[in-house]
Amino acid sequence: MPDPIQTEQVFIVAPTGRDAELAAQVLAQAGIESRICAGLADLLASPVMDVGVLLVSEEAMGTPATLRGMEAWLAAQASWSDLPVVVLSRSGTPDRVAHLAQLLTAWLGNVMFLERPVRSFILASAVKAAVRARSLTMASLSFKNCV
């Protein structure tokens, strides 16, 4: 049976400033393949199974309606799948950050937050951990299908 995940590629959605380009450079230096999406519509046009890890800026998610679109896109993944989402959040008050974390975790599931400014080695480490977790999930699934 072929592996259902097509890639371990990290999709980056950070349409403002240079966040996407800088994140892609950091990941490339860490040996992680990435693809920059022009915006959320670009991401949502891609099959969820083609995405290994999603790295998204808080600003890219916009409104609750946008989040519902992401939630529907994530719901299209197989029941065994749990796409890791790494959110680059803006710094703010602890209450605002806690509220955002609670909201996004409820809507998106497997979410990790990195508050900006984030150091390069921390970004690379967090994304590597997410890629590794996704790979282990896939290896476990492949093993179960062989037994």
- Asked if pLDDT for residue 142 goes beyond 60, the answer is no
Q: What is the pLDDT at residue 58?
A: 87
Higher pLDDT, 81 or 87: 87
Q: What is the pLDDT at residue 82?
A: 81
Q: Read out DSSP for 92-135?
A: --HHHHHHHHHHHHHHHSSEEEEESS--HHHHHHHHHHHHHHHH
Tens digits of per-residue pLDDT, 12-56?
Answer: 999 989 999 999 999 999 999 999 999 888 999 988 888 889 999
CA pair distance 116, 42, nearest whole angstrom: 24
Helix (H) or strand (E) holding 23: helix 19-29
- Nearest-CA neighbor of 129 among 106, 109, 110? 110
Instruction: Tell me how far the alpha carbon of residue 47 is from its chain's centroid.
Output: 14
- Nearest-CA neighbor of 61 among 104, 110, 27? 104
- Nearest-CA neighbor of 60 among 33, 78, 42? 42
CB 58 within 8 A of CB 115: no
CA pair distance 52, 5, nearest whole angstrom: 8
What pTM was estimated for this model as a whole? Answer: 0.84
Mean of per-residue pLDDT scores for the chain: 83
Percent of the chain with pLDDT over 90: 37
Q: What is the pLDDT at residue 118?
A: 94
Q: What is the pLDDT at residue 2?
A: 38
CA pair distance 133, 20, nearest whole angstrom: 23
Q: What is the pLDDT at residue 138?
A: 62
- Asked if pLDDT for residue 122 goes beyond 50, the answer is yes
